[in-house]
Amino acid sequence: MDSISHNAVAAVAADTVAPARWNVDQVEALFDLPFNDLMYRAAGVHREHFDPNAVQMSTLLSIKTGGCPEDCGYCPQAARYHTSVETEELLSVEDVVAAARAARDNGATRFCMGAAWRGPKQRELDRVLGMVKAVRELGMETCATLGMLKEGQAEQLKEAGLDYYNHNLDTAPEFYGNIISTRTQEDRHNTLDKVRAAGLNVCCGGIVGMGETRRTRAALIVEIANLDPYPESVPINNLVQVEGTPLHGTAALDPLEFVRTIACARITMPKAMVRLSAGRQEMSEGIQALCFLAGANSIFYGDKLLTTGNPEAERDRALMQKLGLHAMRSGC
C-alpha cells in the first residue's frame, strides 16, 4: 500500500464521526481497512445503537412465483430464463395467513410477502391488501416486495397496515446496466420516493457477488446510505447462482469480502436493521458469526415454511444458541 492510500485508510480508522453524506472514496477506504480494524469499528457502531446479541427474525414467502417480464441477470423467476422455477398463481389469503401463523409460531416477528411482478395491477394489489390486513391481525410486522408502484398504490398499502416496503437498488449505478436492461435504477428511486411519501418504512439493499469490483460495492453502499433518510432495513444479499440465469458461473465472492460489506453497511447506516439475507444458507457458521459481529442484526429465518418440522429454523436456533444470540421481541 502506498503512503497516500495508507494515510487515507489510517484517517478512516481514526474517524468515528459519520459524514452528512458519504462518497465512494470514503466507503472504499472503509473496505480497505485491516479486517480487525474494520470489525472493531463496525461492532462499536452496532453497540451504540442496538443490543449486540439481539437478532430480528423475518420470514419471506413468495406469494406469486415466476413468470416475471424483467430480465434481472440474477433472478430465476424471470420468464425468459430456463430455470427450475415454475410459474405459480397468486396465493390465496388463507394460504398466506397459514404460512404467517407458522412463521410466527416458529419465532418470526416480521412476515415478508414477495411477488414476481414488474409492478402490481390494481386487481392484484387488491388481493395483496387483504393479505396485509390478515397478517397484521396475527400481531406481526408486515413487509411486501411487489415491484414498481403506480401513483396511489403505496398509500393503499399504508392504509391496509403495511409496515415496510422492500425495493432494492440491486447494485451501483454504473454497474446497473450490466445486470438489468428492462428498467433503470431511476425507476427504483421513483418507487422509493412513493413509498416514503406514503409514510411507509423502507427496506432497501442490494446484491453482491455479481462480478462487480470492491469499488462498485462501495458505490452501492453509498447509493443506499445517501437516501434521505437512509432505509430502516437494509438487506445485503450474496448472489445465489441458479443454473439458467446469466450470472450462473460468476466467480464466487470471497466470504470475508461479504463480511466487509456487512460492516460497511453498519458503519454508514448505524441505526438501520442490517439483514444478512440471500446466500446465508450457503455460508459457514463461522462466516455468519463474523457477519453478526460486523453488525448484521436481522435474518430471514426458516426460509422453508412448513407446518410440522422446520430444519432451517432448527439449524438457525442452534447457531443462535451457540453464539448467545436471542430474538428481538419488539418491532424495530
The answer for residues whose C-beta is within 8 angstroms of residue 98's C-beta and 6 or more apart is 307
Q: Are 294 and 42 in contact (CB under 8 A)?
A: yes
112 is catalytic: yes
Please tell me the distance from the alpha carbon of residue 283 to that of residue 305, in angstroms, as a whole number. 20
**Residue among 188, 217, 275, 280 flagged as catalytic:** 275
Out of 203, 204, 264, 291, pick the active-site residue.
203
204 noted as active-site residue: no
Catalytic residue among 41, 72, 110, 188: 72
Residue 143 annotated in active site: yes
Cis peptide leading into residue 229 (ω within 30°): yes
Residue in 92, 86, 147 with CA at minimum distance from that of residue 121 = 147
To the query of whether residue 68 is one of the catalytic residues in this protein, the response is: yes
Catalytic residue among 75, 204, 264, 291: 75
The grid cell for 203 is: 427496506
In sequence order, the 6+-apart residues with CB closer than 8 A to the CB of 320 are 55, 326, 327
Which residue in this structure is represented by grid cell 424495530? 332
Tell me which amino acid residue 19 is. P
Q: How far apart are CA 128 and CA 91, in angstroms?
A: 9
In this structure, how many other beta carbons lie within 10 angstroms of the beta carbon of residue 196? 17
Concerning whether 275 is annotated as a catalytic residue, the answer is yes
Q: Which of 41, 110, 143, 183 is catalytic?
A: 143
Closest to 263 (Cα-Cα) out of 17, 42, 10, 24: 42
- Kindly name the residue from 41, 104, 110, 112 that is annotated as catalytic: 112
The DSSP letter of residue 144 is E
Tell me if 239 sits within 8 A of 209, measured CB to CB. Answer: yes
**Sign of the Cα pseudo-torsion (258, 259, 261, 266, in order):** positive
The reply to whether 72 belongs to the active site is yes
Nearest alpha-carbon partner for 260 in 302, 327, 307, 214: 214
- Which residues are designated catalytic? 68, 72, 75, 112, 143, 203, 275
